[in-house]
A and B are shown apart, each in its own frame.
Chain A
Amino acid sequence: MTTVITVPLSLDDETFEEIFEQLAAVSPEQKVLIDARRTRWASPYGLTALLAVAQSRAERAAFAGPDHEETASYWARAGFYRHAEAVFEMHGRVPRQREVPWESTVLLEITDVSASDDVHTVVERIQARAQAILVHELHLDPQATLRFAMTLSEVCQNIVEHAGQGGWVAVQSYHFRQRLGRHAVVIAVCDAGLGFRRSLESTPGWKPRDRWDDGAALEDALVRGVSRYRDPGRGQGLAGVRKFVGRWNGKLSIRSGTARIAIVPAWDDAVPLQEGLPHFPGAQVQITIPERVTAA
């Protein structure tokens, strides 16, 4: 029997919880159909997390894309269908990549990351495209482009080093009308691999503490810079990302297992640590960098 998983009308990091909730009630071996026919909009997190859903299923999941032509065309421009065809059993019309024009707001089309070479590719691509948007739209310092690429490199490496399988990254610029009222650039990196807790548990000699769960693992990794490797230089990638995001007044959130941790700027009202969420494997990262507001 196939279980239909309904994709919300508007798909972002918050509304994706509805999908995680529906999935948590279905065993991974059971066939699911991801029904996005009524969906009208998706953020990079939404699109990359959909691919991670396919990755999390033992039985190949079916997928029905948006009926709305403009939405489907946009998802194609973001590179979604190119990857979806590889991981889903596709239902309905699939727009061809060549049918759609290039989308200027897409800084990085959805790109799969499974090896260190993929990170090099991501960094090369983003440097070429990010400068104009970061400097002219977000009014960040020209040096920000390099730090932005460093940020992207570190979050992508998390997949290579800790997921145990591949994942996807996408970067896009937006006008965040409701939440922010300004432009922003969003990085999304999602996988359905090991996740933070299992990765840290693989540390040689690891022993559980009194409180040990997905939330504690995320706190260890993001707040205390703990890594599963014992080298003194490990664990500084996320610390560096956190520092840059803070400097840009941005938001960083990482969901893994049943918890989500966030570095929350003043413009957002997210909870710093959410626990007891529906379980989903791997790690789903989102970084939002808003337009800098300069004093008049």
Chain B
Amino acid sequence: MTHHIDVGSVLRRTVCDLYSNLVTRPTGAAVRREIEGVLAGLDSPSLTVIDFSQVGLLDFSCADEVVGKLLDAVHRQVIVTDAYVLVRGVRDDHLEAIEAVMQRYDLAVIVEGEDGAWRAVGPLDDELRRLLDVVQRQGRAEPSELAAALDEEMAVVKEALDRLVRQRLVMRDESAYVSLTSVM
């Protein structure tokens, strides 16, 4: 089941109902703890969409607290097992802060930008990026279909798909691989 979290509402509920800007570490940490609490209560596997559309400013410190530390914990399966996260409603300035944070953690996340397009943000090599694009387009695909689409050897594609699963950028459903946005 997909769970939506409106970060703007979390901010106003947990920190101050007058704030629309996600700035400062204590603010970011309070928002992250609230989101972690929600994630910890979800059944596995879970997909959570974190929505920034009601957030004014997102500074680097808050991006680190809310996105960096949260995804690091999800990736290391500290707060919850088998969780997947999508980020949406981000403006270009949000994206800049999120991108910087993802580089620091050496992690990637799928983000919907202002243009409505979903893209992987963070360090990801070209091979994985190409494969992810195809999975995103197809929604759900067998490794053989993906190998054919990319004109690659099956073993290479399978290995790359497993890396995408480990990075929590695609889900595995029996023998097929599923894009997070198709589940949403």
Chain A contact residues, CB within 8 Å of chain B: 116, 119-120, 123-124, 127, 143, 146-147, 149-150, 153-154, 157, 160-161, 231-234, 236-237, 239-240
Complex-state Cα separation, A212 to B110, whole angstroms: 42
A123-B23, A157-B24 known; A234 vs B100 contact (CB < 8 Å): no
Partner of B68 from A119, A160, A161, A233 at Cβ < 8 Å: A233
Chain B contact residues, CB within 8 Å of chain A: 16, 19, 21, 23-27, 56-61, 64-65, 68-69, 72, 91-93, 96-97, 100-101, 104-105
Chain A residues near B21: list those with CB within 8 A.
120, 123-124, 127, 149, 153
Q: Which residue of B is nearest A151, CB measured? A: B59
Are B64 and A116 in contact, with the CB atoms below 8 A?
no
Interface centre among B19, B24, B26, B97 (most CB of A within 10 A): B24
How distant is A125 from chain B, measured CB to nearest CB, in Å? 11
Chain A residues near B58: list those with CB within 8 A.
150
Chain B residues near A233: list those with CB within 8 A.
64-65, 68-69, 101, 104-105
Chain A residues near B64: list those with CB within 8 A.
231, 233-234, 236
Give the tally of cross-chain contacts (CB within 8 A). 81
Complex-state Cα separation, A116 to B21, whole angstroms: 12
Looking at chain B's contact residues, the main secondary structure is helix
Complex-state Cα separation, A122 to B167, whole angstroms: 38
Chain A residues near B19: list those with CB within 8 A.
120
Q: Which residue of B is nearest A124, CB measured? A: B21
Chain A residues near B91: list those with CB within 8 A.
146
Chain B residues near A149: list those with CB within 8 A.
21, 57
Q: Which residue of A is nearest B15, CB measured? A: A120
Q: List 10 A-B contacts (CB under 8 A).
A: A116-B27, A146-B91, A150-B60, A153-B21, A157-B61, A233-B64, A233-B105, A236-B64, A237-B61, A240-B59
Interface centre among B25, B69, B92, B100 (most CB of A within 10 A): B25
Are A154 and B57 in contact, with the CB atoms below 8 A?
no
A-B contacts besides A232-B72, A233-B65, 12 pairs, CB < 8 Å = A127-B21, A149-B21, A149-B57, A150-B60, A153-B59, A154-B61, A157-B59, A160-B24, A232-B104, A233-B69, A233-B101, A236-B104
Are B25 and A157 in contact, with the CB atoms below 8 A?
yes
Chain B residues near A160: list those with CB within 8 A.
24
Are B26 and A127 in contact, with the CB atoms below 8 A?
no
A120-B16, A120-B19, A143-B93 known; A127 vs B56 contact (CB < 8 Å): yes
Are A116 and B57 in contact, with the CB atoms below 8 A?
no
How distant is B151 from chain A, measured CB to nearest CB, in Å? 37
Chain B residues near A157: list those with CB within 8 A.
23-25, 59, 61
Chain B residues near A154: list those with CB within 8 A.
59-61
How distant is A166 from chain B, measured CB to nearest CB, in Å? 15
Q: Which residue of A is nearest B93, CB measured? A: A146
Chain B residues near A116: list those with CB within 8 A.
24-27
Q: Which residue of B is nearest A236, CB measured? A: B60
Are B57 and A150 in contact, with the CB atoms below 8 A?
yes
Chain A residues near B59: list those with CB within 8 A.
150, 153-154, 157, 237, 240
Chain B residues near A153: list those with CB within 8 A.
21, 23-24, 57, 59, 61
Chain B residues near A234: list those with CB within 8 A.
64
Chain B residues near A119: list those with CB within 8 A.
23-24
Are B93 and A150 in contact, with the CB atoms below 8 A?
yes
Complex-state Cα separation, A127 to B65, whole angstroms: 22
Are B92 and A143 in contact, with the CB atoms below 8 A?
yes
A157-B61, A236-B101, A237-B59 known; A120 vs B69 contact (CB < 8 Å): no
